[in-house]
Structure 1
């Protein structure tokens, strides 16, 4: 385990989203968090936990995490086998990947994600449904899209790097290089570290100041 303190949370449900990803819904047990934070979750029996961004909203009476199953992983394959009624370990929330606390509804946001990096944005939007955002989600093909019907279709751009079935054919970096980004007050990046490094460089090159960029790297 990463820290000594943890709390038991019972599973309410498990929902498959794609072939490799699923959502665990847990009893909240009065756990307080800010949207954008992550928690460490793990099965009780083996003592290991892994960081997962919180997928549910601040005001939901349950707690959700979006999990990608990793072959031979210490945690995700074990979590995949659990069912409603089983208990997992949850460590206290951490992180500073926050929306601004002031003038939230007067700002325009660009959310950029790859894979399960979409999780904190789901929490952002569940918590603050009236925010003005564009969500750029990069996946290999449309089968990897994660609950796209949750988002306003006018605000979601699915970038598919290996097919033409999404809204945009190519990586998120290609979309960003081809579009005007000056109208956004803040840009959030979440997902693959290589994507974050590439996008950060691209944004700086296009005149987006570093203080207008927030990033959360998954691996």
Structure 2
């Protein structure tokens, strides 16, 4: 759902030199770029391309609004075209950044009065990392659904009591099972804003579960990855 945002940000296109790569798992990593002249609102995304390549992909911004670098979280897709190329880039290589784009962001009108529950599958965690890091003191909870515990990307960046990990293929998460199974059992305060980001099946199933719990569409904000 489109929501009111902070003042309009400038859309820019620039070439950026990769300044750092953080490998999180065998297939997931963070590209770090210099943030010169780049302004965005937490929750927005950018389009990345590699000079000389004809394709591009959209990635949610992972870093904080006031951070020193512009960062994106990438997972290599097995058999994919673009993400394996990103994985083979090295510090010093160039990428082209278009954006920022999108109106996915914190619900400003309920920022101080509501709890903000971030529901993510896989790399759908990225915009929520940006929102949490950009808003110290925010009343939030992250519910992250993954297959294995090692996919809880930089879990230590969140308050320990505000991050709940659902693992579908190992018993080491806070909840063993799919994210949607947890939502069915969970209780939420009526003054809650929900934010969903990840694959479309998870999002549509979660929206239905929340609707059955009495939450209206106006309090459910969505960013669909695929």
TM-score, normalising length from structure 1?
Answer: 0.94
Shift in Å, 1:46: 1.0
Matched, 1:174 2:175: no
Structure 2 SS opposite 1:204: helix
1:110·1:184 contact (CA, 8 Å) conserved in 2? no
Q: Which runs of 5+ in 2 are unaligned?
A: 1-11
Query: What CA deviation, in whole Å up to 9, does each residue of 1:56-84 have, x standing for no partner?
Result: 01111210000011133232111111111
In structure 1, how many angstroms separate the alpha carbons of the residues matched to 2:219 and 2:177?
25
Matched, 1:129 2:136: yes
Task: Determine the structure 2 residue equivalent to 1:155.
Answer: 162
In structure 2, how many angstroms separate the alpha carbons of the residues matched to 1:184 and 1:153?
22
Query: What CA deviation, in whole Å up to 9, does each residue of 1:59-116 have, x standing for no partner?
Result: 1121000001113323211111111111101001111111023452332111100000
Structure 1 SS opposite 2:64: coil
2:24·2:153 contact (CA, 8 Å) conserved in 1? yes
In structure 2, how many angstroms separate the alpha carbons of the residues matched to 1:214 and 1:103?
12
4+ aligned runs moved over 6 Å, structure 1:
none
Structure 1 SS opposite 2:99: coil
In structure 2, how many angstroms separate the alpha carbons of the residues matched to 1:45 and 1:194?
34
1:43·1:87 contact (CA, 8 Å) conserved in 2? yes
Structure 1 SS opposite 2:153: coil
TM-score, normalising length from structure 2?
Answer: 0.91
Structure 2 SS opposite 1:92: strand
2:57 counterpart (44, 50, 57): 50
Task: Determine the structure 1 residue equivalent to 2:196.
Answer: 189
1:105·1:130 contact (CA, 8 Å) conserved in 2? no
In structure 1, how many angstroms separate the alpha carbons of the residues matched to 2:178 and 2:60?
23
In structure 2, how many angstroms separate the alpha carbons of the residues matched to 1:28 and 1:104?
26
In structure 2, how many angstroms separate the alpha carbons of the residues matched to 1:183 and 1:131?
17
1:104 counterpart (101, 104, 111): 111
Q: Which runs of 5+ in 1 are unaligned?
A: none
Counting only pairs closer than 5 Å after superposition, residues 27-38 of structure 1 correspond to structure 2 as 27-38=34-45
RMSD, matched Cα: 1.3
Is the alpha carbon distance of 1:39 and 1:31 closer, same or farther for their aligned partners in structure 2, counting shifts above 3 Å? same
